[in-house]
Amino acid sequence: MTFSRLKTAFCAGLAAVGLLVQPALAADYPHKTVKLVTHSSPGGGTDVFLRELIKHLSPIMDVTFVVENVRGGAGAKAIAYLAGSPADGSVFYGTTPSYINTSLLSKPEKTFEDLDPVVNLFQDPQIVFVRADSPYKTLKDVVEDAKKRPNQVRVGVSTPGSLDRQVMEQFKAETGTEVTIITHDGGGDVMLSVLNGTSNVGIGEIAELRGQIDAKKIRLITTYTEQRLPQFPDVPTAKEQGINLVVRKFRGIAGPKGLPREIVAAWEDATQKVLQDPKFKAWYEKDALIPAYMDQATYKKFTADFAEGQKAFFTKYGITTE
């Protein structure tokens, strides 16, 4: 028997007993280092999400990930950075509704339409929180105080283009109140604003607040969800308190326009795997993130539909006139 035939027979034998390990698709990813960009400040929701994600995604894709905070312009600088980056799979952007809202409201040179949605991972429930010693026990307490003292209640939100900032217009319309809205570079800054008393109330997500929740430095007073969060069964929804507010915030990944199909396929495959990773699952379930995987085709349609819905929202609540 020739050497080549012997080698073929040997490999066939290994495969038959399950000892021949085939390399995973992710091992063929064309870059060993990949940058993930966020418009959020360190400690903000997207920053926390990306830094936790890469711990579990890195071994699946055999890639070293680096998170970079590109701040400014309520996300406009990060969008422009991505739009000007090579579409080769080396750089991506952590998406939230902010990158759509900023595009629609401030009309920057580069918008969400200059990026390619890749995959979505989660819905991230929004919550309303206060400092532990706050007199507010419920969202109704906030509303009652705001009616007594117009523009004296200070509410901390993230960037001007963030979903939580825009929802405050709906909140004011639904409750007939006027409050002072204070914007920040990200959720981590909102948390600090509440802790130091600059803001009386904050809007955020569990992941960015987890340390202060566990330390009992802050207290949750409501969720903008259809149902109570299983992780916080004692925290009522806004709807339970007579305020018709349900907010759906997404978290995903986008890249420069024109990404090769094989790059997108690698992300679709790896994303489905990481969502099943037991350690990552333990993290996101603890922090109330809801898995909402979408492949690229589904995520593209979702993004376009969401943008149209936001345009209607802005017109309805007088945020824009178009």
φ, ψ dihedrals at 143, nearest 5° = -60, -45
12-18, long-range: CB < 8 A, 24+ apart = none
- pLDDT over 70, % of the chain: 91
CA distance 250 to 263: 22
* Cα–Cα distance for residue pair 162/63, rounded to 1 Å: 30
Residue 219 parent element (H or E) = strand 218-223
Q: How far is CA 257 from CA 102, 164, 262, 294, in A?
A: 18, 27, 14, 18
The tens digit of pLDDT for each residue in 28-46 reads 899 999 999 999 889 888 9
- Each residue's pLDDT tens digit, 223-247: 999 999 999 999 999 999 999 999 9
What does the chain come to in residues? Answer: 322
> What is the average pLDDT across 263-281?
98
pLDDT at 248 over 50: yes
pLDDT of residue 322: 54
Q: What is the pLDDT of residue 131?
A: 98
DSSP 237: B
What are the two backbone dihedrals, phi and then psi, of residue 294, each rounded to the nearest 5 degrees? Answer: -135, 135
Can you say whether residue 65 is alpha, beta or left, with left for phi > 0 and alpha for psi between -120 and 50 degrees?
beta
Q: Across the beta sheet with 218-223, what order do the strands follow?
A: 180-182, 154-156, 201-204, 127-131, 218-223
For 44-88, write each residue's pLDDT tens digit. Answer: 889 999 999 999 999 999 999 999 999 988 889 999 999 999 999
Q: Note whether 255 and 262 are within 8 A (CB).
A: no
What own/partner pairs with CB < 8 Å and gap ≥ 24 does 146-149 have?
146/175, 146/177, 146/178, 146/179, 147/175, 147/176, 147/177
Average pLDDT, the chain: 90
CB 91 within 8 A of CB 257: no
Strand partners, 119: 253
Helix (H) or strand (E) holding 100, with range, is helix 97-106
